[in-house]
Structure 1
Amino acid sequence: MKTILLGISGSISAYKAADITNELTKMGYKLDVVMTKNSTEFITPLAIQSLSHRRVHLDVMDEPDAALINHIALAKNADLFLVAPASANMVGKLANGIADDLLSTVALALLPDTPKIIAPAMNTYMYQNPIVQRNLKTLKDVGYQEIVPREALLACGDYGRGALANVSDIVHVVNSKLKE
């Protein structure tokens, strides 16, 4: 059974991580889920835990097994790393090697050959911002695959590219990558 390390960052689209978790679990994948503090403002860890049937990881200082360093163990056990949704903040952290929460710390500890997928979700002007685009390019240059956001009416009322890709598209990309 392959293990997917799913990172959920603080975006209004975080609620869609429940559907992603549910679909990938139904397909037989084991999900280790890491949520940022901000993501828990949009969806509860209990909801994700109920769908993944596994403990949700929240804090870099929480070490559930004294024999293991949690962020290293999570990274080593991952057959694929997916961040969905990836906020502008998380994209910036990942692109610049900032490790100030469990999700960004685990990302730095991933084995070099672990497939890495990022599904951004943010306001269209944030997504188009040259800094965010530079950060996404940096991530692609180091091996991340981007699942491009959709054009849609966003939660803020703006219309444009920035909505999280469709759950079915994210699941398809993940499944295809793991079948390679």
Structure 2
Amino acid sequence: MARIILGVTGSVAALRTPTLRAALRADGHAVRVVATEAALKFFDPADLGPPDEDDALRLGGPLYRDADEWAFDRWRRDDPVLHIELRRWADLLVVAPIDANTLGKFALGLSDNCLTCLFRAWEFSRPVVLAPAMNTLMWDSPVTRRHLRLLLEDRGDGGPPGPWTLDEATAVFDRHAPGLSLVAPISKRLACGDVGAGGMAEVPEVVSAARSALGRVGRPGAID
């Protein structure tokens, strides 16, 4: 069993957060959810179920939000820093869905909430899985390719020398940044009414990607 942080951002696909957490737990993992404030517009934290038994950071449910990072009146030396404590705990970071805004923040190194601070502070000997979800034109934008290339430069070998398409993105990440997996969005009728690529991959596919990512690194620090 491994320890997984499930990052959730402001996409309609965040509706599936309770289902995805349940599926990861059914696969044998301890799962804490780190959600942006926008993500909380799409699911009820009460639907996440109870925290895992080893969750000693808090007495409530398994959800961590930006307010928890600042849940003190005045910081004192040696007080825990939430995103660092979460990083130390986790074997794997899964961000599903990752919206266009957070993808851009990850690529540019911006860290203005708990989740982006966690990614910026992540120890990249431990794997990361990203499952994008956004409008089709947002996904097809050249900005998306630029941000993906930046991630490949920072966390891989820079990617292939020639051009590649978004249809090839998952394979490109597998070859050139094995510690950073991309679960490409699927084509469907989106919540906005547009039809095309941009829907988050189905829950079993995300769980499978998490399983594969852990297998590639031998589950460092996994729970016995």
Instruction: Work out whether the TM-score is over 0.5.
Output: yes
Say whether 1:158 aligns with 2:194. yes
The answer for the alignment partner of 1:99 in structure 2 is 111
Match of 1:153, as an amino acid? R
Aligned to 1:61: 70
Q: C-alpha root-mean-square deviation of aligned residues, in Å?
A: 1.6
Instruction: Give deviations 1:65-91, integer Å, cap 9, x for gaps.
Output: x74211101012111111000000010
Give the structure-1-normalised TM-score.
Answer: 0.92
Aligned equivalents of 2:91, 2:101: Cα separation in 1: 25
Number of paired residues? 177
Q: Counterparts of 2:5 and 2:71 in 1: how far apart (Å)? A: 17
Give yes or no for the alignment of 1:113 onto 2:125. Answer: yes
Q: Which residue of 1 aligns with 2:141?
A: 129
Amino acid at match of 2:205: D
* TM-score under structure 2 length normalisation: 0.74
**Contact 2:86 2:118 survives alignment (8 Å):** yes
- Find the structure with the greater CA-based Rg: 2
Identity %: 33
Q: Distance in 1 between matches of 2:85 and 2:192?
A: 38
The structure in which a higher percent of residues are strand is: 1
The CA deviation string for residues 117-163 of structure 1, in whole angstroms up to 9 with x for no partner, is 10000000000111122112222331422100001111111111100
Contact 1:22 1:51 in 2 (8 A): no
Range that drifts further, 129-138 or 3-12: 129-138
Residue 56 of structure 2 corresponds to which residue in structure 1? none
In structure 1, distance between residues paired with 2:110 and 2:44:
25
Task: Classify 1:84/1:2 alpha carbon distance in 2 versus 1 (closer, same or farther; 3 Å).
Answer: same
Structure 2: runs of 5 or more not aligned? 53-60, 73-77, 156-176, 217-224
Aligned residue in 2 for 1:89? 101
Structure 1 gaps of 5+ residues are none
Q: How far off its partner does 1:51 sit?
A: 5.9
Partner of 1:22: 22
SS of 1:113 mapped into structure 2: coil
Residues 4-19 of structure 1 aligned to structure 2 (within 5 Å): 4-19=4-19
